[in-house]
Amino acid sequence: MQIQVDPELTAPQAGDRNYGLGRVMRDLRKGAGATHAEVAAAMDLGRTSVCNMERGVQAITVEKLYQFADHLDVEVTISFKPKKRGAKKAMPGITDVVLSGAPRA
């Protein structure tokens, strides 16, 4: 028996957060000349998980993101900014927060 799924129902949308991060991961991996298997081994994951993350169908934890970055020798920077001017701020007086660097051992 063969099951076919409509790709319109399963394809990630360009605005999806996982999809956007996955595209960046894919571009970095390809730019470094690394295979899915190499990256997966460094992240202690299966190759399929890395493929799914790049396609935006599987979320990635911050710890796994740092493992990915360490393997490719790139820095992780996470930035929090208000969405638009005049929006209610979660952190009064703080307009920009950036977390950067490697995870704690």
The pLDDT tens digits along the chain (105 residues) read 444 444 444 445 545 777 888 888 999 999 999 999 999 999 999 999 999 999 988 999 999 999 999 999 998 887 777 677 665 655 555 555 454 554 444
Decide: 43 and 62 in contact? Cβ < 8 Å. Answer: no
Q: Which domain holds residue 27?
A: 7-74
State both tokens at 30.
Answer: 């390809």
> CA 47, CA 40: separation in Å to the nearest integer?
5
Specify if 105 maps to a domain: no
DSSP string, 4-21: ---HHHHSPPTT-HHHHH
Q: In this structure, what CATH number is given to the domain that contains residue 63?
A: 1.10.260.40
Q: Into how many domains does the chain fold?
A: 1
Q: What is the value of pTM for the model shown?
A: 0.67
Specify if 79 maps to a domain: no
- Bridge partners of residue 58, in order along the sequence: none
Give 74's contacts (C-beta < 8 A, 6+ positions apart): 28
